[in-house]
Amino acid sequence: MLIERYETGKRMSQAVTYSGFVFLAGQVAIDAPGASVREQTTNILARITTLLESVGSNPTRILSATIWIADISEFEEMNIVWDAWVPSGHAPAHATVEAKLAGPEFTVEIGMIAAVGN
């Protein structure tokens, strides 16, 4: 089976497809560093939507999500955006954990696995 890599750089690919699945790298708010948790989450989910669509998937096809948040006290702020973005009836399995992220300008990171195609 063919492995395809998208937006590949020196260290990683932003998305990899294999056997009907897409694996997304952890996404941070590259267009909103230093912004609020809500703004960063909004930015990340827009990026994820774009990545999913570029490989023939969409948010209704998400199987699993892992969310890392720099300060767990902001969990509800992140969830306000998350809950509005997840299509009704299509909530994936997911976990949210507090973690130190790649830089202090980032407060949220989200990685996903989704199905590709129908």
Per-residue pLDDT, averaged over 19-44, amounts to 96
Q: How many domains does the chain have?
A: 1
Nearest C-alpha neighbor of 70 from the set 113, 41, 30, 32? 41
Per-residue pLDDT of 61-112, as tens digits, reads 999 999 999 999 999 999 999 999 999 999 999 999 999 999 999 999 999 9
> In this structure, what CATH number is given to the domain that contains residue 59?
3.30.1330.40
Whole domain around residue 10: which residue ranges?
4-115
Averaged confidence pLDDT in the chain:
96
Residue 43 confidence (pLDDT) above 80:
yes
Q: How confident is the model at residue 15 (pLDDT cuts 50, 70, 90)?
A: very high
Please report which helix (H) or strand (E) contains residue 100, including its range: none
Nearest C-alpha neighbor of 30 from the set 7, 3, 53? 7
Using a 10 angstrom Cβ sphere, with 0-12 exposed, 13-18 middle and 19 or more buried, the burial of residue 68 is: buried
Following DSSP, what letter does each residue of 31-65 receive, concatenated?
A: TSTT--HHHHHHHHHHHHHHHHHHTT--GGGEEEE
